[in-house]
Structure 1
Amino acid sequence: MMELLSGILGTDAARILAPIWLVAYGTQIAGFAISAPLQTEKPVSLFSASEHTYPPTTFPITPPPPPRYHPRQIIATTLQTVWSLRLAIFLGSRVFRKGGDARFEKVKRKPGLFLIFWLGQALWIFLIPLGVYGVNALPPELHPPIGLTDMFGVALWFFGISFEAIADAQKSAFSKDPKNHGKFITNGLWRISRHPNYFGEIILWAGMTLFCTPALLKISRSYPERIKPAVAYSTLVSPIFLTYLLNMVSGINILEKMGDKRWGNLKEWKEYKETTPVLVPWIGWWWMNKMKKDVKAAGGTHEKNK
């Protein structure tokens, strides 16, 4: 079996991707087995974010003695671990503080749909950090030196995770204030995007892809027996798949419907949706709509004074 995978993926790629795939699906099935009988979604965060720190994602399974790692491997591993731990702590504390996640209220009561969710989460665990897996699968001597593209990718990652963390902190502070019970947040980063946390998440993984993929493509051209070019190109799917997932499946699509159901009759909610982009922040959008609103209000006042 490994010989077949090695022929398809390349020897190093097969050595690391096969066990990661097995562990991703194995642990998610275990998570489903625990959660389904109890009809609870509380283990979801623990089984998802924390699994990204599984050892093969951090360093090669059998590093050459003495262990040597390329700076790209160390940086990619560190960034992924920081992201994973932050997300696990944030999501875990939120679920246990609120007692659950409204997005799973119906799904968790239907074992078939709940299983599909867990299997989909395994795919997320496997695909999103694909570039990191590839970087850590290859011997350090094959890696090209760190260059400007790598530095830009890391800078993009830091921007993305900072944006996401600030947005999460702002919403947590808003939700904890009893005066805001039953309200929706419109201040801070949530003034320029209805889902700034998701925007930050997409940006940070775009940065990680920029950090990992060019190096993998270069290695695949020189050593196709170690990692096939198709595998290197496949790491580009990370931010694309994440953007689709957050927009159409588990994130924005659900939250927007929940918001419409809860606040759809409120004038403030309608104005918020009209004046704030759904995902990509654009301060100009806010100012433009504010000016339109002011002009409209001024026009109304003028008519009354006639």
Structure 2
Amino acid sequence: MAYDPLTLLLWAWIAMAGWMVVLWLIERVRRNTSLADVGWCFGLVAVVADYAYFATGEIERKLLLVVMVSAYGLRLGGYLLLHRVIGKAEDQRYQRLRLVWRLDEPLRMFGYFQLQAAAVVLFSLPFLAVMQNPRPPFGLWELAGVILWMIGITGESLADRQLAGFRAKPWNHDRVCRDGLWFYSRHPNYFFEWVHWWAYVVMAIGIPGWWLTWIGPVVMGVALVRITGIPWAEEQALRTRGDDYRRYQDSTNAFIPWWPKTSQSSSAPFRN
């Protein structure tokens, strides 16, 4: 039995609101707000899988989208779970929020988790739009989108692995990572995350509701570059790595990978 898109979105929001309440209760005990980020990733996978079961559309296309969102969400969610939650101290960005919120912290943290629930529904719209493609699968635009998706997922995974490998070495704890993709961008993981969302725009070219797919790259791009991504990460890096990171800022693009302005100096390891 197929449901109309508005009904699916309503049920997705109700389910994600409940899911985030559970994670918020766990956060009250564990005191690690990165649980919300993990919940966002896993929640997106669950919502899109639900759409694939209940929405109209070609089964082959829906299965493809489930594979794509699962590879994206489970990888990123698993990475965050291992590197930011299990056995890890809470990210300093969230620690500072607790200090700022003070007595209002429990309620504000609840609101933050619920904001993540709404974000799951918002970012599920590109998938739902692509599922409604009235054309038979798979056209050239869809294949081009899959190729772009592979570039985004591969780049983000590689950047995360390179950073994790760098941080795993104890002598690098006070140094700036310039390994691999981090030589060309200060935030290559964010860049390829953004590229990944363009894949659904390309897949949906020419279909009704195409504009919904732009939610992914536009909203995610603004969030990464202007709000919760680069600004927070750079503030923390400047505080912990000081002059080393300032030199990195002077030589290396923040977002789009490119050759450093002074490749010789940017490749050299500096210490604070």
5 Å-filtered alignment, 1:31-70, equals 31-36=23-28, 38-41=30-33, 43-54=35-46, 57-62=49-54, 69-70=58-59
Contact 2:52 2:66 in 1 (8 A): no
Aligned equivalent of 2:246: 270
CA distance in 2, matches of 1:56, 1:121: 16
Aligned equivalent of 2:5: 13
Contact 1:57 1:77 in 2 (8 A): yes
Query: What TM-score results when the alignment is normalised by the length of structure 1?
Result: 0.75
Matched, 1:242 2:235: no
Q: By how many angstroms is 1:249 displaced?
A: 2.3
The count of corresponding residues between Structure 1 and Structure 2 is: 258
Q: By how many angstroms is 1:237 displaced?
A: 1.2
Aligned equivalent of 1:88: 77
C-alpha change, 1:143 and 1:17, in structure 2 (3 Å) is: farther
Matched, 1:162 2:154: yes
Matched, 1:251 2:241: no
Amino acid at match of 1:161: I
Aligned equivalent of 1:27: 19
Contact 2:162 2:180 in 1 (8 A): yes
Q: By how many angstroms is 1:256 displaced?
A: 0.6
- Alignment RMSD (CA, Å): 2.6
Contact 1:16 1:133 in 2 (8 A): no
* Residue segments in structure 2 that go unaligned for 5+ positions in a row: 100-104, 267-272
CA distance in 1, matches of 2:237, 2:54: 49
Amino acid at match of 2:80: L
Please state whether the residue corresponding to 2:256 is helix, strand or coil.
coil
Contact 2:130 2:200 in 1 (8 A): no
C-alpha change, 1:82 and 1:290, in structure 2 (3 Å) is: closer
CA distance in 1, matches of 2:28, 2:92: 16
Aligned equivalent of 1:202: 194
Please state whether the residue corresponding to 1:118 is helix, strand or coil.
helix
Aligned equivalent of 1:71: 60
Query: What TM-score results when the alignment is normalised by the length of structure 2?
Result: 0.84
CA distance in 1, matches of 2:59, 2:87: 41
Contact 1:41 1:108 in 2 (8 A): no
What are the superposed Cα offsets for residues 57-107 of structure 1, whole Å, 9 maximum, x if unpaired?
Answer: 35544478xxx9433222111100111110111100002243322221132
Contact 2:38 2:81 in 1 (8 A): yes
C-alpha change, 1:149 and 1:254, in structure 2 (3 Å) is: same
Amino acid at match of 1:194: R
CA distance in 1, matches of 2:55, 2:241: 55
CA distance in 2, matches of 1:192, 1:63: 41
CA distance in 2, matches of 1:195, 1:152: 25
Amino acid at match of 1:76: L
C-alpha change, 1:63 and 1:29, in structure 2 (3 Å) is: closer
What are the superposed Cα offsets for residues 221-242 of structure 1, whole Å, 9 maximum, x if unpaired?
Answer: xxxxxxxx4xx42331111000
Contact 1:31 1:44 in 2 (8 A): yes
C-alpha change, 1:189 and 1:62, in structure 2 (3 Å) is: closer
Contact 1:194 1:277 in 2 (8 A): yes
**Please, which of 138, 152, 172 is the counterpart of residue 144 of structure 2?**
152
C-alpha change, 1:63 and 1:28, in structure 2 (3 Å) is: closer
Q: By how many angstroms is 1:279 displaced?
A: 0.5
What are the superposed Cα offsets for residues 196-228 of structure 1, whole Å, 9 maximum, x if unpaired?
Answer: 0011100011112322x32xx52x3xxxxxxxx
Aligned equivalent of 1:99: 89
C-alpha change, 1:49 and 1:93, in structure 2 (3 Å) is: same
5 Å-filtered alignment, 1:167-186, equals 167-186=159-178
Contact 1:246 1:252 in 2 (8 A): yes
Matched, 1:280 2:266: no
CA distance in 1, matches of 2:51, 2:108: 35
